[in-house]
């Protein structure tokens, strides 16, 4: 617990001027007691499934501090998230944006979403965990991203609130991040 608190305090200190919402990735540890401690430290949650969303809510995390990310979200997961009025849903595809809009329209709600952009950036990481290159299955390319931005501008039921990008894990140099930022 002391290490967890020290890490959270350090992160808050270094990003103090931005005052960000810090969301703990529930997939890294879904233990309910840990999530309750995360909540006490003022953090939100990043979830990738209905089960993780349920755990975050059960731990008492404010729905307006929950972001639903991840690939392959089902209709029932999207509906569950929308019914819980979470902060936003990070969309991975054009079809997911359209599905979210359909659900929002049926409920006469406005839903905040993010779009995950695939920046076609090689992070020089292990091929099995690469997430930001053209051939990787995550996010949308620049062309579809622009199409979605224009589509969302016309929608009465979805608001674009976030740009999401992830280029991989175990990256030990800054060059991949610089290339990714140029795309953004």
* pLDDT tens-digit readout, 37-89: 999 999 999 999 999 999 999 999 999 999 999 888 999 999 999 999 999 99
* pLDDT tens-digit readout, 138-156: 778 889 999 999 999 999 9
Neighbouring residues of 60: CB distance < 8 A, sequence distance ≥ 6: 36, 39
């Amino acid at each position: 617990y002391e290490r967890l608190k020290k890490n959270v305090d350090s992160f808050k200190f270094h990003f103090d001027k931005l005052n960000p919402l810090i969301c703990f990735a529930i997939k890294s540890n879904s233990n309910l007691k840990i999530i309750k401690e995360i909540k006490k430290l003022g953090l939100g949650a990043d979830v990738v499934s209905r089960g993780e969303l349920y755990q975050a809510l059960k731990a008492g995390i404010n729905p307006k501090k929950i972001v639903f990310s991840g690939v392959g979200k089902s209709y029932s997961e999207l509906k569950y998230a929308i019914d819980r009025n979470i902060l936003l849903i990070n969309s991975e595809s054009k079809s997911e944006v359209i599905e979210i809009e359909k659900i929002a329209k049926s409920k006469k709600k406005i839903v905040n979403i993010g779009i995950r952009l695939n920046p076609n950036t090689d992070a020089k990481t292990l091929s099995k965990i690469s997430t930001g290159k053209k051939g990787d299955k995550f996010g949308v390319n620049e062309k579809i991203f622009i199409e979605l931005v224009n589509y969302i501008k016309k929608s009465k039921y979805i608001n674009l609130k976030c740009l999401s990008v992830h280029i991989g894990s175990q990256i030990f140099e800054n060059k991949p991040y610089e290339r990714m930022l140029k795309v953004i």
